[in-house]
Amino acid sequence: MTATDPGRHEVAERDPLAAVRSALLSAAAADAARVLARADVDVAERLAAAGEEATRIREAASGEAAREASTIAAEARVRARRQERAILLAAQREAYERLRAESRTAVRGLRGDPSYPELLERLTVAARERLGPGTVVREHPGGGVVAEVGSRRLSLTLDGAAERAVEGLGREVERLWAP
């Protein structure tokens, strides 16, 4: 308050707490300014920390995604190898079955050969030699013979001969699918 300002002097005289209020308001304004300044600093620090955390999270996620992608790729390679192996085995099985079928067809063709009756006679003799006296020998509808004596039975069919011939190839049959 100054002497040159009569209006203030009058207010001060009318309100004896005006100076105290003014000082409290000034102190509150200063406190508020300090709190706001500290809040600005705190916000800036938290934003910086959040940015750093976001960067760490992105990097971790990127690393995790790379590991996950690697795992998925490895699983896909395993599935592809299994599928390749299954296809290879199926092709080998098909070649083997074709060999068996062609072998059966080839030996069945012997039935039309002029020497077939002689073959039947040799098979009959072989069956009786194996099974002994009392052996009953019948011609099989698919070619060859079937012999029985008591509970024993012997099959000397053309299909059986073809099967034994293919089985007798052993590992040689692998040349069907070898490069």
- What does the H/E/C string look like for 129-179? HHHCCCCEEEECCCCEEEEEECCEEEEEEHHHHHHHHHHHCHHHHHHHCCC
Angle of CA points 132, 147, 151, to nearest 5° = 75
In the chain, which residue ranges form alpha helices assigned H by DSSP? Answer: 6-14, 18-108, 116-131, 158-168
**Residue 11 binned pLDDT confidence (cut-offs 50, 70, 90):** low
Structure confidence at residue 4 (pLDDT)? 56
User: Which of 66-70, 131-135, 149-153 is the least confident region?
Assistant: 66-70
Q: Count Cβ atoms below 10 Å from residue 33 Cβ, excluding itself.
A: 10
> Mean pLDDT throughout 60-67?
86
Quick check: 40 pLDDT over 60? yes
More confident residue, 154 or 63: 154
Place of tokens 């000082």: 23
Tokens of 126: 């072989």
Quick check: 59 pLDDT over 80? yes
Structure confidence at residue 9 (pLDDT)? 55
- Do 119 and 110 touch, CB atoms closer than 8 A? yes
Give 155-168 pLDDT, tens digit per residue: 999 999 999 999 98
pTM: 0.57
